[in-house]
């Protein structure tokens, strides 16, 4: 009887160990799928150039989404029902010259498709102030999305942004002029994106002061 109990305990322990190993291996497997592998032979590039006003720090980058339905997450990567494609972003900080002009090249095949079928989705930006003392939340948004049937411009595609701090804690950039639709062809080779800093036009109470007032 005692030997049967020991044997039963060993079996239970072995089953527990196998379950633990299964979840551990699955965890690291899924972790590996959550980030794409770098393509060391990238050869599809888009050139982005333009003008950035002094005082602005601009990062430009691309977003990659998974196409395989088996590679999904909860909303914005949070735990939950896996209804949303996984997303991976990368950014490059622009380095304007003394005149404010810049030019960068972004690879559109920076990552391998792999099991999750990673594919570039859109070009986006992040804008903040060069003055680090200003603790203002950066403005970020996508400029355009890539689609197979998207617009392909023979001439250089362009979009102009005006940036301003609309309160004590937020900076906002809004497109004011563009010859692009929201989607363009992945074969587009050149895009011009300009960022102009304008004076603060927000005349209402700052968000911080408004919150303090509401707390009273």
- Band of residue 212 on the pLDDT scale cut at 50, 70, 90: very low
Q: Rounded mean pLDDT of 80-92?
A: 78
**Residue of higher predicted confidence among 148 and 28:** 148
- Band of residue 194 on the pLDDT scale cut at 50, 70, 90: very high
- Band of residue 13 on the pLDDT scale cut at 50, 70, 90: low
Highest mean pLDDT among 115-129, 130-144, 149-163: 115-129
**Arithmetic mean of pLDDT over the chain:** 77
Statement: residue 155 has pLDDT above 80: no
**Residue of higher predicted confidence among 192 and 212:** 192
Least confident of 110-114, 115-119, 148-152: 148-152
- Listed by start position, the domains of the chain span 1-28, 45-204
Residues 43-55 pLDDT 10s:
999 999 999 999 8
**CB-based contacts of 187: which residues, under 8 Å, 6+ apart?**
152
Which element (helix H / strand E) includes 135? none
pLDDT of residue 199: 77
pLDDT of residue 120: 92
pLDDT of residue 69: 85
Q: To 10 degrees, the CA torsion angle through 35, 37, 43, 49?
A: 30
- Between CA 30 and CA 40, with CA 34 as vertex, the angle to 5 degrees is 120
pTM reported for the whole predicted model: 0.72
pLDDT of residue 46: 93
Strand extents, DSSP E, the chain: 45-51, 56-66, 72-73, 84-85, 87-93, 101-107, 118-129, 139-151, 157-165, 171-178, 183-184, 190-197
Statement: residue 94 has pLDDT above 60: yes
């Amino acid at each position: 009887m005692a030997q049967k109990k020991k044997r039963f305990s060993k079996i239970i322990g072995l089953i527990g160990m196998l379950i633990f190993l299964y979840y551990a291996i699955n965890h690291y497997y899924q972790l590996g799928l959550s980030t794409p592998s770098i393509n060391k032979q990238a050869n599809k590039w888009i050139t982005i150039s333009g003008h950035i006003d002094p005082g602005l720090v601009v990062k430009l980058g691309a977003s990659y989404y998974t196409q395989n339905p088996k590679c999904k997450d909860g909303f914005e990567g949070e735990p939950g029902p896996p209804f949303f494609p996984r997303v991976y972003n990368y950014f490059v900080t622009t380095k304007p010259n003394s005149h404010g002009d810049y030019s960068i090249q972004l690879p559109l095949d920076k990552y391998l498709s792999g099991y999750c079928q990673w594919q570039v989705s859109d070009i986006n930006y992040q804008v903040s102030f060069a003055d680090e003392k200003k603790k203002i939340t950066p403005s970020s948004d996508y400029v355009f999305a890539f689609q197979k049937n998207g617009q392909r411009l023979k001439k250089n595609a362009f979009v102009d942004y005006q940036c301003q701090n609309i309160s004590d804690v937020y900076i906002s950039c809004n497109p004011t002029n563009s010859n692009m639709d929201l989607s363009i062809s992945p074969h587009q080779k050149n895009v011009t994106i300009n960022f102009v800093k304008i004076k603060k036009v927000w005349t209402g109470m700052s968000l911080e002061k408004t919150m303090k007032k509401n707390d009273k």
